[in-house]
Chain A
Amino acid sequence: MGGYLPSSPPDHGWRTERFAGGGDPLEVALPAFDAAGMAALAGQIRDEARAVLGAMPVDAIAAAIDAAAERMLDRAHPLRRKAEALLPIVTGYDAESVRLGLTATFRNFRLPQLRRFLAADFPDPGMLDGFRPMPRGGLARAWGPALLLHVWAGNVPGLPVWGLARGLLVKAGTIGKVSAAEPLLAGWFAGLLAEVEPRLAGCLGILCWQGGADPAEDAAFEAADTVVAYGGNATLAAIRNRLPATTRFVGHGHKVSFALVSREALTAGRAAAAAGLAARDIARFEQQGCFAPQMIFAERGGAVDPAAFARHLAAALAAAEARHPRRALSLAEAAALAGWRDGEEARAMVEPGRSVMFGPDLGWCVSYADAAEPLRPAALNRSVTVVALDALEEAAALVAPFRDLLQGAGVAAPPRRLHALAEALGAVGVTRIAALGAMTVPEAGWHNDGRFNLLDLVTMTEIEPAAEAQAELYAPHAD
């Protein structure tokens, strides 16, 4: 049983997804509504959220999320155990990656991290509870959408948890449409929130429908004040075109990340470690998340040259393969990866300075280019291109043509260069500079796609200073 509904929801049916990854088959039933049922559910959640969340201080909401996250961090908690047992079957990721991923994710949802998350967007998070004075005079208060609809995609565990926290912190009633590729964690977390803080129970609904076709989707699009969606540009455009003109749309498109490894990181003593960190970013979640690198620019001039770094990286990926085997690939994924490898090999035959290394059964693949070339994605699932540069400063120009597609850059460089590179990369559209090895675990308060996670969802009501001053004229104590 998956998904989550408030108690006494409108009439509905169920929709079953089947999973076979990693052995035991698993069936997950998710609530499914018709258009009228969806409209009724949306109204119910909207009203409940307005009444309940509207009256709860934001810090109390954060405390509830913290309490739920603490349980998910407890490896003995039944839900945590269930997640560790079932998510590998559903997503195909190996058990260890799921365990590490769960811990890394839920660490970000404890109270101090949530407060940082709030502080990243609001000078005074109290403005979510009531009017607060503004530095320039007057007062302001932030309102979240009464009903927020999330359209999640993909199978990276944790994405829906970010979404649920975002919505609750701005006091939005939330409907989440889970992806068929990972339909479980969002519903479990919603149920856990309702358990630790029963006041939240009626403010959330987690369900699933066939995107693009279901009349229930039209009803949900009609009801939502704000829609946050993930997916490729075609999917996002299709959703945006179906929303009423007044509905706010926040789209997170598919993106590409890369890494920069400086000559200072390519000393005899450091190069292998840098390769290990890069391998971690590549292997964890199989590059399915857009924060994972698909190309690594390595700088000449260190004791270890870029070609040797590529060999270190190949060795590190081979070691990662032994510890955490890649999840099973679909035929299309396997063919895409093999096709990419074949294409890289063909280029290597005609272009001097190129070479390709790959593991048995193509468990990983490193393509090496001895000359600068523009950014291009590899084939995901542990594939990467290492490109040698005379100076890392060349990288910004090589990624600049793809400005709309850039996400983050992992940078291994000394402080002065880190700052200079960040300046140059930011100017061409990179929104996150991460430590090598930490690219797949963004920190709390991270501005996803360079946007404000919470501010993008709210509207402000401002009381202008003149209105305050004028009010004085009508006060009982006025002269």
Chain B
Amino acid sequence: MIVVEETALGGTEAALRARVEAMMATPAPDEATFDSLALDIFAFQFEHDPAYRRFARQRGRNPRAVRSWREIPTVPISAFKDLDIGCTPPDRAARVFMTSGTTRAGRRGQVHHRSLDLYDRSMRLGFEHFFMRGAAPMAMAVLFPDEASLPNSSLAHYLALALRHFGTPGSRTMMGPAGIDRPALVAALRGAEASGEPFALLGASYAFVGLLDALDAEGQRFALPLGSRILDTGGFKGQSREVPPEVFYARLSKTFGVPAALCVNMYGMTELSSQFYDDGNAGLPPVKRGMPWLRSRVVDPLTGRDVPPGTPGVLAHHDLAHLGVVSAILTEDVGVMREDGFLLLGRVGGTEAKGCSLAVEEFLAAARTPAGA
């Protein structure tokens, strides 16, 4: 009985995987392709993920009642912290990515991948299209710990893929437990200047803040060769001070000699298998876009329905490459829909009551402080 189920599951998943791969190979897949694949994937995930099935039923949705990808129930990312979401039982996972932040039970959100084939393929196509833009592999330095030191970080895996597929030999991570290896990085940057070959600097946004401060203090400036580029991701998340985007990109541009148009911000999350990018940060705020198998909506959190165009709402993403987990995700990010993508406006802020009632966040903060302190 169990064997039969597994065969059925494998068969369906393999067929869907083949269709996603075919879509990835199509230059401009049409709306109908996305929609029908999204609905079939929803049916698959509904059948094989008990938590998602219960969740969808609670929202009154099931595959027979859903007519468009926009009606597929989205899973709030907070649910990954409480539940085993996804079609892969934890003991069958080839790889587990974990979110930052813990829950009541001290557990981090977990995303179980049976295989990273689709993740890797989606990453390579998106990175090539939005960041490499036709350029040949180039020398790269990564400002983030490597995969060996952070095996549960989806970003470490993403950056490892970038090095493996788009970096020339010698490209590597220049951040270890002690932080950025600045002498090595400076040497690599000076080497690039001397070689005249384009260079790519990739890393966490917060790591760039510290680096810029240190380089400024040393009076170091670079004029990286034409075609050099920078990718930052993840925002500052309390790891460094907040820097307004216009200041951040102006400083990157000035320090490394890379035009803001080639300073690309990647917006990704552990709970997805594909990423969004902007077209450089010359004009702010930049529009974020993804590959055709990744679509977004801006919704009213109370109703889950799309807000009118131009109105801010909460971003929901639908990633067909996230086939083995769950494709429809509700984020905690605020966005506004644009014709060619969306503007990312930041995190949904915490709320204080308009009166004197205690709100949850303040309660948690107060509860962490011993009474009377």
Residues of A within 8 A of B (CB): 91, 153-156, 159, 181, 230, 232-233, 252-256, 285, 287-290, 292, 294, 329-340, 342-343, 345-347, 349-350, 356, 361-362, 376-380, 401-405
Contacts and interface: CB of A to CB of B under 8 A. Distances in A.
Contacts, number: 146
Interface residues of B, number: 39
A253 B353 CA distance: 12
Interface centre among B349, B354, B362, B371 (most CB of A within 10 A): B354
Interface centre among A255, A331, A378 (most CB of B within 10 A): A331
Given A290-B356, A343-B78, A232 B362 contact: yes
Given A233-B362, A338-B302, A349-B51, A289 B355 contact: yes
A430 B117 CA distance: 58
B372 to A, nearest CB: 7
B348 interface: yes
A254 B352 contact: yes
A330 B147 CA distance: 40
Contact of B357 (A181, A252, A362, A380): A380
B193 interface: no
A361 B54 CA distance: 19
B308 to A, nearest CB: 13
B334 interface: yes
B350 interface: yes
19 contacts: A153-B356, A155-B355, A254-B357, A254-B362, A255-B356, A256-B358, A289-B356, A289-B357, A332-B348, A335-B314, A336-B348, A336-B351, A336-B360, A340-B360, A343-B82, A346-B78, A350-B83, A378-B360, A405-B366
B353 A154 contact: yes
B303 interface: yes
- Nearest 4 Cβ contacts at the A-B interface: A288-B355, A338-B301, A346-B82, A154-B355
B353 A334 contact: no
Interface in B80-124: 81-83
Interface in B339-373: 348-360, 362-363, 366-367, 371-372
Nearest to A344: B82
Contacts of A378: 360
Contacts of A343: 78, 82
B301 A288 contact: no
A153 B314 CA distance: 28
B307 to A, nearest CB: 9
Contacts of A333: 351
A402 B367 contact: yes
Contacts of B366: 233, 402, 404-405
A376 B303 CA distance: 25
Given A232-B362, A334-B300, A339-B301, A256 B357 contact: yes
Given A232-B352, A255-B356, 8 more contacts: A181-B354, A287-B357, A335-B314, A337-B301, A340-B360, A346-B81, A377-B359, A401-B371
Nearest to B80: A346
A255 B301 contact: no
B41 to A, nearest CB: 21
Contacts of A376: 360, 363
Contacts of A156: 354-356
A336 B359 contact: yes
Interface string B323-347: 0000000101010000000000000
Contacts of B51: 349
A391 B330 CA distance: 40
Contacts of A361: 302-303
Interface string B40-77: 00000000000100110010000000000000000010
A338 to B, nearest CB: 4
A199 B352 CA distance: 39
B353 A339 contact: no
